[in-house]
Chain A
Amino acid sequence: MIAAALLAQSDNGFFRERTDSCVTDNGFCPGWFFGHIDRYTTPFLQHVFLVVVSVGIGFAIAFVLAVTAHRRRWLVGPVTNITGILYTLPSVALFFLLLPITGRGNVTAIIALTGYTLLILFRNTLAGLDSVPEDARDAGRGMGLTERQLLWRVELPLALPAIMAGLRIATTTTVGLAALAFFAGAGGLGEPLEAQKAFKTNVVFAGGLCVLLAVVLDAIILIVQRFMTPWTRAA
Chain B
Amino acid sequence: MTVTASIFSTFGDALDFIVQPRTGRGGGEVGGLSNNLQLIWEHLKLCIVAMALATAIALPIGLWLGHTRRGAFLAVSVSNIGRAVPAIALLFVFFAFLGAGFANVALALTLLAIPPILTNAYVGVREVDPDAVDAARGVGMTGLQILRRVEFPLAVGLIFGGIRTSAVNVVATATIAPLAGVVTLGDPIINPSIYGEEGRLGGAILVALLAVLTEVSLAAVQRAVTPRGLRMQSSGRTPRGRLIASPRRRVTTTP
Contact = CB atoms under 8 A, between A and B. Distances in A.
Do A's and B's CB atoms come within 8 Å in the complex? Answer: yes
Interface of A: 26, 76-77, 80, 84-85, 88-94, 96-97, 100-101, 120, 123-124, 126-127, 130-131, 134, 161-162, 165-166, 168-169, 172-173, 175-180, 189-190, 193-194, 197-200, 202-204, 206-207, 210-211, 214-215, 218
A197 B96 contact: yes
Contacts of B83: 169, 172-173, 176, 214
Given A168-B253, A203-B92, A130 B168 contact: no
A100 B7 contact: yes
Given A96-B189, A207-B89, 4 more contacts: A88-B214, A96-B203, A127-B249, A194-B92
Nearest to A130: B235
A127 B208 contact: no
B141 interface: no
A180 B96 contact: no
A72 B1 CA distance: 37
Q: Is the interface of B mostly helix, strand, loop or mixed?
A: helix
Contact of A90 (B90, B175, B252): B175
A101 B86 contact: no
B42 interface: no
Contact of B253 (A76, A165, A177): A165
B196 interface: no
Interface in B54-97: 80-81, 83-90, 92-93, 95-97
Contacts of B80: 172, 218
Contacts of B6: 100
B84 A203 contact: no
A84 B215 contact: yes
Interface in B203-255: 203-205, 207-208, 211-212, 214-215, 233-237, 241, 243, 249-250, 252-254
A211 B89 CA distance: 10
B10 interface: yes
B70 to A, nearest CB: 23
User: Looking at B10, B88, B205, which has the most chain A CB atoms within 10 Å of its CB?
Assistant: B88
B234 A96 contact: no
B254 A96 contact: no
B41 interface: no
Q: Is the interface of A mostly helix, strand, loop or mixed?
A: helix
Contacts of B85: 176, 207, 210-211
A165 B79 CA distance: 13
A167 B89 CA distance: 23
Given A93-B189, A130-B237, A100 B11 contact: yes
A127 B235 contact: yes
A70 B249 CA distance: 17
A199 B200 CA distance: 28
Given A130-B237, A176-B85, A203-B92, A197 B211 contact: no
A82 to B, nearest CB: 12
A97 B96 contact: no
Contacts of A175: 84, 86
A90 B176 CA distance: 10
Nearest to A197: B92
Counting from the closest, the 7 A-B pairs by CB-CB distance are A207-B89, A214-B84, A90-B172, A179-B86, A176-B86, A96-B204, A93-B204
A92 B235 contact: no
Contacts of B96: 26, 197-200, 202-204
B211 A93 contact: yes
Contact of A93 (B90, B207, B214): B207
Contacts of A215: 84
User: Looking at A26, A93, A100, A210, which has the most chain B CB atoms within 10 Å of its CB?
Assistant: A93
21 contacts: A85-B212, A90-B175, A91-B172, A92-B172, A93-B205, A93-B208, A96-B201, A100-B6, A123-B234, A127-B236, A161-B254, A169-B253, A175-B86, A176-B86, A179-B87, A190-B88, A198-B96, A203-B92, A203-B96, A206-B89, A210-B89
A211 B83 CA distance: 9
